[in-house]
Chains A and B, each alone.
Chain A
């Protein structure tokens, strides 16, 4: 097998991966970015509303980073590690200004400084934005910046698995989709920044590429996931295409209505109404639909009509366009059809505040792939872009420290291990006939949506465990019909499915074990939050077909749990 050597390898070319690579390359180390898409196609591009940032001298005069930390901790239903949330808040202004210096075209105030707007869950307005395409704007700025450094990009390369030696990462195997020839990347440090996993669910606002590859890779290498049961559903995804209609719409005054024309949020969150947190609004919408007050097909209306044409087109351009292009609805005259869809993954590869995984030396993670944890049980809007950049940077700097103190490349007989990685990948699709990936994939997405979704209970979760196990068995009969040796996407889709199945079983088991309701994890059989027994992080390992679960305490600094009332 061909070998390529780097000081560090980053998996993922979105905001977190690029930021890590920037730090590593700027310190003079040799770094590669491996991405299954050209970096600007990463899911970071799809972020809309903005990035939260407290900028000294350019924020509400009453605001300060402590309010921001408090909002984040409360929003996350107290499962947030408070030291991490403090770091996120304290660095927020600095990181937004860094992107500005690099050319990000933030919307401006008349005096030329960066503008600000309100987002859900904020005590004071602190969301910085670029129109309604903030993610795209920041991703392009950062990619363009990093493409000017000596970073080697391996675009449209698929990472298969890590190679480890005695709990130390010594490299990974990846292959270019164009030629499908595997390469061994020998390296001292790997940063997994591969984003989220929305494709596990029938309905998701995520890109097609979000198949949770990094989670599968980490689990198979023996690293734990933290809080895997916490999956965020966004209340307003466009029906039927699941394109995100930003929370900014409700921020600007849009009202959710059922088929009777009732403002049903008055029933569920009398104070915050339509701007209650995402988990609460999502559950309310599903309840309305289940109780027969949704529209046929299963959706409710997001009514903007009272805002007027000019206001809608100026402030909610993307929502207006998306409704028009993808649902044939003119939001000036009729409500936008919406329903909840999977949106974000709070769980992720277990890392500390420095981006280090405790299980494997040399393994790091950042962005949605990682669980630091700053989002706890439910992420606040505008905090994910901030997370990618702040912890992308922190992680990159930690890797630099690691490389400085560990200048020697581990000696290891990687050849055999690397060959095994490739064998395992091909073994996964070895049958000559039988089922193919599409059949298993579609079944998995339904099982996750129906049983491991917005409402959960023991029966449904047990059913999900058994269904997922069946699908994992079916895989032994899976085959790839395409025999092409160039850009064989069927083969890569099958490998994505392997990652999805490894993650799915971990999510289902962790959700089954957490017998309480907290943030996005809602158990109808245990509807209350239970701080006495469950104020702790789930730590889940995958050993063969068995999910092993332990727990570790949440880091508390200054904020004591209180009831989460909105």
Chain B
């Protein structure tokens, strides 16, 4: 280990809040070294400089999910972030710390979790084993490869960073959000579970409301990839009979993309649109487009790519 601790003074600008006083910013100067975690910096600020500063922190090793906050605008776990890494990344020793987006602030960096927890509990986050197993008349066996697959998604620590970064949650109240989907998929895919139909009812419609922006993928401190859980949940749609309109349209959209690429080698937006939304909706939208002068984009003629047969071969003979 290098003996150079790279000690340096850093300025923390912390966004404060209290119901009595509203918003304000406080500034603290502290000396850190190359190993100082944000949680330790905050702890020192609180015990040495300003004991009124409120924040959450518990394990300081990225397994409890308490210390989510926004550091220079990025949602991060404070414990998993070293102060000097941020100084280097932004080439600036002035760092801003704010409460996570989307959640309501209660006091300083402490935010309200109630709605997040409601979403998590909506997915029935627990295994429902068979009666035989619960009565000890049978024993679970779980293949190592299934354990590996499920464990990836079971490592969600309810830290909320993905929800704070998710644009879809903000505009669509029917969307359960990335964390709840990771948790939901972990049980949906568990071969030991017995309420698969009920889980599909809870998860499938919501899974088609994700916009695949990958923000959850980017911010997750445990590399869960909630968006991957959502993709995998969508693949259950074909086994589910009671599909919502959102799910049906989602399936059509996927099929249309598949067909377009298979036929032409390209993603033809017009063709995908027509197949996803049907003729009547497409005609209505065409009228709107012609009024706004955007029709010319919809009517671009595309040629098939060369070697289209190679593409067909890759995609296989049968649909899906």
Q: In the complex, what distance in Å separates the CA atom of A141 from the CA atom of B60?
A: 21
Q: In the complex, what distance in Å separates the CA atom of A308 from the CA atom of B154?
A: 28
Q: How far is the CB of A151 from chain B (nearest CB, A)?
A: 13
B window 147-161: CB within 8 A of A: 147, 150-151, 154-155, 157-158
Q: How far is the CB of B199 from chain A (nearest CB, A)?
A: 13
Q: In the complex, what distance in Å separates the CA atom of A328 from the CA atom of B36?
A: 11
Q: In the complex, what distance in Å separates the CA atom of A140 from the CA atom of B153?
A: 12
Known: A105-B151, A140-B154, A144-B126. A487 touches B51 (CB 8 A): no
A window 95-115: CB within 8 A of B: 97, 100-103, 105-113
Q: How far is the CB of B316 from chain A (nearest CB, A)?
A: 32
One of B105-113, B200-208, B274-282 at the interface: B105-113
Interface residues on B, range: 35 or more
Question: Is residue B35 contacting chain A, with contact meaning CB distance below 8 A?
Answer: yes
A window 286-302: CB within 8 A of B: 295-297
- Nearest chain A residue, comparing its CB with the CB of B46: A438
* Contact between A41 and B129, CB atoms less than 8 A apart: no
- Nearest chain A residue, comparing its CB with the CB of B190: A103
Q: How far is the CB of B275 from chain A (nearest CB, A)?
A: 40
* Contact between A103 and B144, CB atoms less than 8 A apart: no
Q: In the complex, what distance in Å separates the CA atom of A20 from the CA atom of B121?
A: 22
Q: In the complex, what distance in Å separates the CA atom of A42 from the CA atom of B63?
A: 10
Question: Is residue B52 contacting chain A, with contact meaning CB distance below 8 A?
Answer: yes
Question: Is residue A337 contacting chain B, with contact meaning CB distance below 8 A?
Answer: yes
One of B133-141, B211-219, B225-233 at the interface: B133-141
- B residues less than 8 Å from A488 (CB atoms): 54, 107
* Contact between B37 and A487, CB atoms less than 8 A apart: no
Q: Of B20, B55, B58, B141, which one neighbours A209 at CB under 8 angstroms?
A: B58
Q: In the complex, what distance in Å separates the CA atom of A28 from the CA atom of B127?
A: 21
Question: Is residue A61 contacting chain B, with contact meaning CB distance below 8 A?
Answer: no
* Contact between B127 and A133, CB atoms less than 8 A apart: no
* Contact between B126 and A101, CB atoms less than 8 A apart: no
Known: A45-B64, A137-B154. A208 touches B51 (CB 8 A): no
Q: In the complex, what distance in Å separates the CA atom of A263 from the CA atom of B158?
A: 42
- A residues less than 8 Å from B151 (CB atoms): 105, 130-131, 137
Question: Is residue B66 contacting chain A, with contact meaning CB distance below 8 A?
Answer: yes
One of A269-277, A360-368, A449-457, A477-485 at the interface: A477-485
Q: In the complex, what distance in Å separates the CA atom of A322 from the CA atom of B80?
A: 9
Question: Is residue B47 contacting chain A, with contact meaning CB distance below 8 A?
Answer: yes
- A residues less than 8 Å from B62 (CB atoms): 325
- A residues less than 8 Å from B192 (CB atoms): 103
Q: Of B37, B58, B124, which one neighbours A241 at CB under 8 angstroms?
A: B37
- Of B43, B127, B144, most buried by chain A (CB within 10 Å of CB) is B127
* Contact between A484 and B141, CB atoms less than 8 A apart: no
Known: A41-B65, A208-B43, A208-B57. A105 touches B154 (CB 8 A): yes
- B residues less than 8 Å from A284 (CB atoms): none
Question: Is residue A505 contacting chain B, with contact meaning CB distance below 8 A?
Answer: no
Known: A486-B106, A487-B110. A208 touches B60 (CB 8 A): yes
- A residues less than 8 Å from B61 (CB atoms): 46, 243-244, 322, 326
- B residues less than 8 Å from A485 (CB atoms): 20
Beta-carbon contacts of A419-448 to B below 8 Å, as 1s and 0s?
000000000000000001111011000000
- Nearest chain A residue, comparing its CB with the CB of B64: A41
Q: How far is the CB of B10 from chain A (nearest CB, A)?
A: 17
* Contact between A102 and B129, CB atoms less than 8 A apart: yes
Question: Is residue A38 contacting chain B, with contact meaning CB distance below 8 A?
Answer: yes
Q: In the complex, what distance in Å separates the CA atom of A441 from the CA atom of B51?
A: 12
- B residues less than 8 Å from A489 (CB atoms): 46, 54-55, 107, 110
Question: Is residue A145 contacting chain B, with contact meaning CB distance below 8 A?
Answer: yes
Question: Is residue A550 contacting chain B, with contact meaning CB distance below 8 A?
Answer: no
* Contact between B51 and A102, CB atoms less than 8 A apart: no
Question: Is residue A207 contacting chain B, with contact meaning CB distance below 8 A?
Answer: yes
- B residues less than 8 Å from A40 (CB atoms): 64-65, 157-158
Beta-carbon contacts of B1-28 to A below 8 Å, as 1s and 0s?
1110000000000000011100000000
Question: Is residue A474 contacting chain B, with contact meaning CB distance below 8 A?
Answer: no
Known: A41-B59, A43-B58, A481-B51. A207 touches B64 (CB 8 A): yes
- A residues less than 8 Å from B34 (CB atoms): 328
- A residues less than 8 Å from B144 (CB atoms): 107-110, 112
- A residues less than 8 Å from B107 (CB atoms): 484, 486-489
- Nearest chain B residue, comparing its CB with the CB of A487: B107
Question: Is residue B115 contacting chain A, with contact meaning CB distance below 8 A?
Answer: no
Question: Is residue B48 contacting chain A, with contact meaning CB distance below 8 A?
Answer: yes
Q: How far is the CB of B189 from chain A (nearest CB, A)?
A: 12
Q: In the complex, what distance in Å separates the CA atom of A484 from the CA atom of B125?
A: 36
Known: A147-B121, A437-B47. A46 touches B126 (CB 8 A): no
Q: In the complex, what distance in Å separates the CA atom of A148 from the CA atom of B151?
A: 21
Question: Is residue B142 contacting chain A, with contact meaning CB distance below 8 A?
Answer: yes
* Contact between B126 and A145, CB atoms less than 8 A apart: yes
- A residues less than 8 Å from B126 (CB atoms): 102-103, 144-145, 147-148
Known: A133-B63, A241-B37, A295-B1. A38 touches B106 (CB 8 A): no
- A residues less than 8 Å from B51 (CB atoms): 436-438, 480-482, 490, 493
Q: In the complex, what distance in Å separates the CA atom of A100 from the CA atom of B141?
A: 10
Q: Of A37, A43, A148, A328, which one neighbours B1 at CB under 8 angstroms?
A: A328
- A residues less than 8 Å from B87 (CB atoms): none
Q: In the complex, what distance in Å separates the CA atom of A243 from the CA atom of B262?
A: 53
Known: A40-B158, A240-B35, A490-B52. A45 touches B63 (CB 8 A): yes
* Contact between A105 and B147, CB atoms less than 8 A apart: yes
Question: Is residue B260 contacting chain A, with contact meaning CB distance below 8 A?
Answer: no
Q: In the complex, what distance in Å separates the CA atom of A107 from the CA atom of B157?
A: 19
Question: Is residue B169 contacting chain A, with contact meaning CB distance below 8 A?
Answer: no
Question: Is residue A329 contacting chain B, with contact meaning CB distance below 8 A?
Answer: yes
Question: Is residue B143 contacting chain A, with contact meaning CB distance below 8 A?
Answer: yes
- B residues less than 8 Å from A42 (CB atoms): 58, 64
Q: In the complex, what distance in Å separates the CA atom of A481 from the CA atom of B48?
A: 13
* Contact between B157 and A241, CB atoms less than 8 A apart: no
Q: How far is the CB of A137 from chain B (nearest CB, A)?
A: 7
Q: In the complex, what distance in Å separates the CA atom of A488 from the CA atom of B55?
A: 10
- B residues less than 8 Å from A87 (CB atoms): none
Q: In the complex, what distance in Å separates the CA atom of A523 from the CA atom of B143?
A: 50
A window 35-79: CB within 8 A of B: 37-38, 40-43, 45-46
Question: Is residue A334 contacting chain B, with contact meaning CB distance below 8 A?
Answer: yes
* Contact between A296 and B82, CB atoms less than 8 A apart: no
Question: Is residue B251 contacting chain A, with contact meaning CB distance below 8 A?
Answer: no
Q: In the complex, what distance in Å separates the CA atom of A329 from the CA atom of B129?
A: 43
Question: Is residue A462 contacting chain B, with contact meaning CB distance below 8 A?
Answer: no
Q: In the complex, what distance in Å separates the CA atom of A101 from the CA atom of B127?
A: 8
- Of A45, A105, A109, A488, most buried by chain B (CB within 10 Å of CB) is A105
Q: In the complex, what distance in Å separates the CA atom of A277 from the CA atom of B133?
A: 38
- B residues less than 8 Å from A133 (CB atoms): 63, 155
* Contact between A101 and B140, CB atoms less than 8 A apart: yes
Q: In the complex, what distance in Å separates the CA atom of A210 from the CA atom of B192?
A: 35
Residues of B within 8 A of A (CB): 1-3, 18-20, 33-35, 37, 39-40, 43, 46-48, 51-52, 54-66, 80, 82, 106-107, 110, 113, 117, 121, 124-127, 129, 133-134, 136, 139-144, 147, 150-151, 154-155, 157-158, 187, 190, 192-193
What are the 9 A-B residue pairs with the smallest beta carbon separation, nearest first? Answer: A112-B141, A103-B127, A438-B47, A482-B52, A487-B107, A144-B126, A41-B64, A490-B51, A207-B58
Residues of A within 8 A of B (CB): 37-38, 40-43, 45-46, 97, 100-103, 105-113, 130-131, 133, 135-137, 140-141, 144-145, 147-148, 178, 207-209, 239-241, 243-244, 295-297, 322, 325-329, 334-335, 337, 436-439, 441-442, 480-482, 484-490, 493
The 12 sampled A-B contact pairs (Cβ below 8 Å) are A37-B64, A43-B59, A45-B157, A101-B134, A103-B126, A109-B144, A208-B59, A244-B61, A295-B3, A326-B61, A328-B82, A335-B1
New A-B pairs, 4, CB < 8 Å, besides A40-B64, A207-B64: A437-B51, A484-B20, A486-B106, A487-B110
